[in-house]
Amino acid sequence: MSEIITVGLDLAKNVFQVHGADGAGRAVLRKKLRRAQVLEFLSQLPSCVVAMEACGGAHFWGREIGNLGHDVRLIPPAYVKPFVKRQKNDMADAEAICEAAMRPTMRFVPVKSEETQGTAMVFRVRELLIRQRTQAINALRGHLTEFGQIVPQGAANASKLVALVEDPESDLPADALPTLKALIAALAHLEAEIGKLDAEIAHRAKENDVAQRLMTVPGIGR
């Protein structure tokens, strides 16, 4: 077998596909691996380029494979797609990843550290909670509309929705109150969690020199 120079690794939950190519780009290895076999197999290969599509789990694998001495390269999925030569499947994807990695003008995504991923996670979770808060507010507004209670849109008007439900003089039917109050409880929980994340983001910004410099830029921090 010719020496493997580049490996395309198609990531999956359980079964991974490996495509290895030599210096001329010829396929010299096609293999399926169970999840538990991946690192053991790659540890037996000489140091080479191991390429993967940049996805949720790619940075974890990138760190682990990099620790084995391989040159890890993550490729945006959109840049891999043009290299799929036949019907899309795991084998074709692994080959396309391998071929894309060998292109001299290919752009790669840096492998993120655990710290970087952890820092970015707070923003993604906050966005999720904000979407859920919006859904709860819209649901509350919609249900109140069914009983003739009209409140303008916007999170700023959420307190008006809550006041209508909690008003003891309200004309809302008794059968509807438990459900509406469940939405209010969910909304209060979301507000509290978003507040905690906002405080965490502010704390991290104070501890980060780059963030502090950005805060001095007109239009960004002020």
**61: domain CATH number?**
3.30.420.40
Whether 119 and 201 map to the same domain: the answer is yes
Whether 130 and 202 map to the same domain: the answer is yes
Residue 219 domain flag:
no
Tally the domains of the chain. 2
Segment 13-26 shows an average pLDDT of 94
The more confidently predicted of residues 7 and 90 is 7
For 77, the domain range is 6-101
Residue 109 domain flag:
no
Non-local (6+) Cβ contacts of 1 within 8 A are 28, 29
Residue 123 domain flag:
yes
Q: What is the pTM of this model?
A: 0.76
Long-range contacts of 127-136 (CB under 8 A, 24+ apart): 129/190, 129/193, 129/194, 129/197, 130/194, 132/190, 133/187, 133/190, 133/191, 133/194, 136/183, 136/186, 136/187, 136/190
Whether 13 and 88 map to the same domain: the answer is yes
Structure confidence by residue, pLDDT tens digits, 47-83:
999 999 999 899 999 999 999 999 999 999 999 999 9
Amino acid letter at 205?
A
- Of 61, 80, 101, the one marking the end of a domain is 101
Residue 108 domain flag:
no
Non-local (6+) Cβ contacts of 133 within 8 A are 155, 187, 190, 191, 194
Confidence of residue 218 (pLDDT cuts 50, 70, 90): confident
Task: State CA 144 to chain mean position distance.
Answer: 35
Query: In whole numbers, what is the pLDDT of the chain averaged over residues?
Result: 91
Segment 176-185 shows an average pLDDT of 94
